[in-house]
Structure 1
Amino acid sequence: MKTVLITGCSSGYGLETARHLHAEGWNVIATMRTPREDLLPHSERIRILPLDVTSTDSIAAALERSGPIDALVNNAGIGVVGAFEATPMSYVRHVFETNTFGVMAMTQAVIPQFRARRSGVIVNVTSSVTLTPMPLAAAYTASKMAIEGFTGSLALELQAFDVRAKLVEPGYGPTTRFSQNVGVRIEDLVPEAYASYAAAIFAAYAEPASVTKESDVAEAVWRAVNDLSGQLRFPAGPDAVALARAA
């Protein structure tokens, strides 16, 4: 029976992925900054641990408590929507600390056990903005694009040790929390010069042509952790699949 550690399980994709992999028979270590026992089924195959991916001490403590794992799913992420001109660099750095450096830190921490066993898979959840950029999300897009390049290089670097690295690229999910994650309102990041343009963009986001469901992402992660081929990218959701084909 295999064990997976998933970051960012308090809601959304991470929570649904934890439920899905548990249903498929895996042991699940669901991590989140503030643990909540009521989110997942009570099961001897589920453990909920505190983990802040921006803290090396928190990462080390969580991995010590988890014991050996077979898969790591780097799902924790935050975002900022707004004009880049108006986005303070402190917010940009905050996004990169979680979306980019947090993923790298988690990955670096688990590689030694995977390499020693010559087995393991790392799945990094990015976004369909890496397939086609979207406006008013420059910092978020940059943080996710960095992980795309990182994962592609890592997959080549680790293949000599039979360790796999994969990408899951979710499409647009309207339940995804963006600016709220960094304590700033969207309107604070839209100067008057951008107001009419931003209004049209936000209206389009409110009524998307297609939507990625949380279950789409969970199923893509499931495929990725089990994939033994050289496939790197797993788009999740009908819009992401269409963008990937076009790309």
Structure 2
Amino acid sequence: MTTSSEKLVVVTGASTGIGRATAEELARRGFHVLAGVRGNPDAIRARGIEPVLLDITVPEQVAALAERVATRPLHALVNNAGIQVNAPVETLPLDEWRHVFEVNLFGHIAVTQALLPNLRNGRVVNISSVGGKVAMPTYGAYAGAKFALEAVSDALRREGVRVVVVEPGGVRTEMATRGIATANNLAAAMTPEQSARYGTMVLAINNLMAEGTGAGVTAGQAAEVIAKAVTTRAPRTRYTVGRDAALITLLTRVLSDRALDQVIAARLKRSERQHARGATDDLAASGLQRFPGCFGER
């Protein structure tokens, strides 16, 4: 239980990756963190960290979290939970589309609605993505949910709620590995015609995802940016995480849609050629050359 002197923060999706690193960083800074986990709570239990069983798509667990904090004001809610599912728009089953939006959008809205009565003097920190700024091939569902989360964040802010959006690029966590495995499973279910049309593209995107994640920042570095969003007295409305995210955000502002399409297509073709001959990307250290392989962040 918290003491009267501790500020209370909720972090969803705190079992691994950015969520766990954020919970640990905020606890180090003296906050009492309610860390939402779906698995073994003892894996993250530590001084200043109180694990709570939380699948943000399960209404009963969201209600239990709201009851846990009902008598205490919250300093911040960090909406971090998320999944990555990649497949071409044509081939991704509608049930998968709905699942991505349930976790990456509607679950965050459910938690936010439940906790807003305790956040009147606090803030909401939504962990979006550079994928909330530009939608890559096979990222339709993931980017669609992130674009929507950005829009919801804007609406909330204009309704009088203090909202900060954090947009990571490549971050070295398990999320990209899981995303690649999911993408391969979905690709295996494509029809022969779909495989002929999209198979090379899926492989190129998977390669870029692996490269971008491997060259990305650590979860701890991402957590420091999120902690800044939580603790700064007058935070910006948006923070990027990593050089690649900052660069891609800039490109979306200065390039036309057609020009951005050409940059993406050229990068995919380069990846296809490199991996066809077994080469590595000798320009991976450059933010521009990592683009667009940097959307797996948790």
TM-score, normalised by the number of residues in structure 1 = 0.88
Per-residue CA deviation, residues 40-68 of structure 1 (Å, 9 max, x unaligned), is: 4x32x221110111122211112212452
Aligned counterpart in structure 2 of residue 125 of structure 1, from 127, 130, 140: 127
Q: Distance in 2 between matches of 1:216 and 1:240?
A: 14
Q: Distance in 2 between matches of 1:185 and 1:170?
A: 21
Q: Distance in 2 between matches of 1:52 and 1:106?
A: 10
- 1:32 counterpart = 2:37: yes
Runs (4+) off by over 4 Å:
178-181
Give the AA of the match of 1:63: A
- Matches for 1:65-104 after TM superposition, within 5 Å: 65-67=68-70, 68=72, 69-104=74-109
| 8 Å contact kept, 2:167–2:239 | yes
| 8 Å contact kept, 2:170–2:217 | yes
Q: Which runs of 5+ in 1 are unaligned?
A: none
Quote the residue 1:221 is aligned against. Answer: 226
How far is 1:143 from its partner?
0.4
Quote the residue 2:159 is aligned against. Answer: 157
Q: Distance in 2 between matches of 1:53 and 1:98?
A: 7
Aligned counterpart in structure 2 of residue 56 of structure 1, from 56, 59, 67: 59
**Does the residue aligned with 1:85 lie in a helix, a strand or coil?**
coil
Q: Distance in 2 between matches of 1:4 and 1:103?
A: 15
**Does the residue aligned with 1:84 lie in a helix, a strand or coil?**
coil
How far is 1:230 from its partner?
6.0
Aligned counterpart in structure 2 of residue 136 of structure 1, from 138, 144, 154: 138
Q: Distance in 1 between matches of 2:17 and 2:178?
A: 14
How far is 1:141 from its partner?
0.3
- 1:177 counterpart = 2:175: yes
How far is 1:25 from its partner?
1.2
Per-residue CA deviation, residues 142-173 of structure 1 (Å, 9 max, x unaligned), is: 00110001001111212xxxx41110111123
Quote the residue 1:233 is aligned against. Answer: 238
How far is 1:228 from its partner?
3.3
**Does the residue aligned with 1:124 lie in a helix, a strand or coil?**
strand
How far is 1:75 from its partner?
0.3
| 8 Å contact kept, 2:36–2:53 | yes
Q: Distance in 1 between matches of 2:15 and 2:137?
A: 28
| 8 Å contact kept, 1:77–1:99 | yes
Per-residue CA deviation, residues 67-119 of structure 1 (Å, 9 max, x unaligned), is: 5221100000112112221110000100101111001111111112223xxx1
Q: Distance in 2 between matches of 1:152 and 1:203?
A: 33
Identity %: 34
Give the AA of the match of 1:60: A
Q: Distance in 2 between matches of 1:83 and 1:207?
A: 20
Quote the residue 1:195 is aligned against. Answer: 199
Q: Distance in 2 between matches of 1:3 and 1:65?
A: 11
Q: Distance in 2 between matches of 1:125 and 1:145?
A: 12
Q: Distance in 1 between matches of 2:93 and 2:177?
A: 12
Per-residue CA deviation, residues 185-232 of structure 1 (Å, 9 max, x unaligned), is: 524236412112222222222223841321222111111112333621
Q: Distance in 1 between matches of 2:207 and 2:155?
A: 37
| 8 Å contact kept, 1:123–1:168 | yes
- 1:2 counterpart = 2:7: yes
Q: Distance in 2 between matches of 1:58 and 1:198?
A: 36
Give the AA of the match of 1:152: D
